[in-house]
Amino acid sequence: MSLEPIVLVHGGAGDIPRERVEGKLEGVRLAATIGYRKLQETGNVLDAVEEAVRSMELDPYFNAGYGSVLTSDGNVEMEASIMNGATLRAGCVSLVNDIYHPISLARKVMKTPHNFLAGDGAMRLAEQEGIQKLEPGQLVTDYARIALEEWREGQLRGEMEYARTEIGAKNKYKDKGEFGTVGAVAIDIEGNIAVATSTGGITGKLPGRVGDTPLVGAGTYADNRVGGVSTTGHGETIMRYSLAHEILKRIEFLGQSAQEATKNSCRSMTERLIGTAGAITIDFEGRVGISFTSERMAWAYLKGNTMHYGIEQDQHLTQRV
Ligand code: GLY
């Protein structure tokens, strides 16, 4: 089998304000370019997705690494996962702080006998692996601080936030804010697929809250036999729907295309559980799926010498590179 390599990324689904659109588009195009170059350099899809996500973890336009949103008590708690579609090995971390690149820590977990490390244990691995430890507060941006202040004001006004929204509370439901997460899916010429996803979670989350992003089957899934998916959106909803896995099951068992499966799964999830989400998919034959039920989601992919990108519903722009 010989396929065209692709690196596909997203920069988070949500109610993204207009003034953040250009910055996000620049960031996803850069991440796709960096991931693609890495794939050309090492030929390893895991390197490609890790590098693409690392680029967005350093970019304050995204809710991951530097720029992560804050917990209800004003701290950063990050999560990430990475998966190898050839072996189904995965590395996942949660409740990590004061490092730039949770995705690289997640990849280090793949070297242990485990799939998932959280909190102190994950931070101990970071130290053992020589990952740079930052000063407390170094990842906190003004944008994240303001978002938390707005969230607190909303709480005082009695607005419901996502984390406490229950099924059936549609009339009280407030689809507000950027539920950014960043993610990347890559395929090489032999059909090897890898996926990486990283996030700061949701503004105002309770300390200790775990979302969808580090969960295999919810935020991330990769299987060379079917495809790879990275999701973004409201974690409490996505994890109950196992969104990444649901998309791949539609491809595998219903014969849907990557685009149909991604769109149908996101829509069915939002219809049933209310919360919004987006997902990016590459199937085993290198077909791409991109869909979101939120207002916007920045995405980009590089294939051959063409960059494809967009952020609005039904927008698909291209640019020769
Ligand atoms: N998908 C990001 C979160 O809810 O944590």
**Sign, Cα dihedral of 249, 253, 256, 260:** negative
- The confidence score (pLDDT) of residue 157 equals 85
Percentage, residues of the chain above pLDDT 70: 93
Is the pLDDT assigned to residue 169 strictly greater than 50?
Answer: no
Ranking 148-162, 186-200, 248-262, 284-298 by mean pLDDT, the lowest is 148-162
Is the pLDDT assigned to residue 166 strictly greater than 90?
Answer: no
List the one residue out of 144, 151, 125 whose CA is nearest residue 65. Answer: 144
- The confidence score (pLDDT) of residue 165 equals 39
The answer, yes or no, to whether any atom of ligand 1 lies below 6 A from the CB of 84, is: no
Is the pLDDT assigned to residue 34 strictly greater than 60?
Answer: yes
**Looking at the DSSP assignment, which residues form a beta bridge with residue 79?**
199
Rounded to the nearest integer, the mean pLDDT of the chain is: 93
pLDDT tens-digit readout, 68-95: 999 999 999 999 999 999 999 999 999 9
Q: Atom 4 (ligand 1): residue with closest C-alpha?
A: 235
Burial class (CB in 10 A: 0-12, 13-18, 19+), 4: exposed
82 and 107 Cβ atoms separated by less than 8 Å: yes
Ranking 80-84, 158-162, 228-232 by mean pLDDT, the lowest is 158-162
Ranking 8-17, 162-171, 193-202 by mean pLDDT, the lowest is 162-171
List the one residue out of 76, 52, 51 whose CA is nearest residue 63. Answer: 76
The answer, yes or no, to whether any atom of ligand 1 lies below 6 A from the CB of 228, is: no
pLDDT tens-digit readout, 248-291: 999 999 999 999 999 999 999 999 999 999 999 999 999 999 99
Which of these is catalytic: 181, 270, 281, 293? 181
pLDDT tens-digit readout, 97-114: 999 999 999 999 999 999
- The confidence score (pLDDT) of residue 89 equals 98
- The confidence score (pLDDT) of residue 177 equals 54
Name the pLDDT band for 2 (thresholds 50, 70, 90). confident
- The confidence score (pLDDT) of residue 179 equals 64
Q: Left, alpha or beta for 283 (phi > 0: left; psi -120 to 50: alpha)? A: beta
Instruction: State in Å: Cα 1 to ligand 1 middle.
Output: 36
106 and 93 Cβ atoms separated by less than 8 Å: yes
Q: Is 243 helix (H, G, I), strand (E, B) or coil?
A: helix
d(C-alpha 13, C-alpha 234), whole Å: 9
User: Tokens standing for 294?
Assistant: 């939120």
**Looking at the DSSP assignment, which residues form a beta bridge with residue 194?**
84, 186
List the one residue out of 253, 201, 258 whose CA is nearest residue 228. Answer: 258
Percentage, residues of the chain above pLDDT 90: 91
Mutate to test the pocket of ligand 1, among 197, 199, 293 (most ligand atoms within 8 A of CB): 199
> Which helix or strand (DSSP H or E) is residue 305 part of?
none
Domains defined for the chain, CATH in brackets? 6-320 (3.60.20.30)
For residues 133-137, average pLDDT: 97
Q: Is 181 a catalytic residue?
A: yes
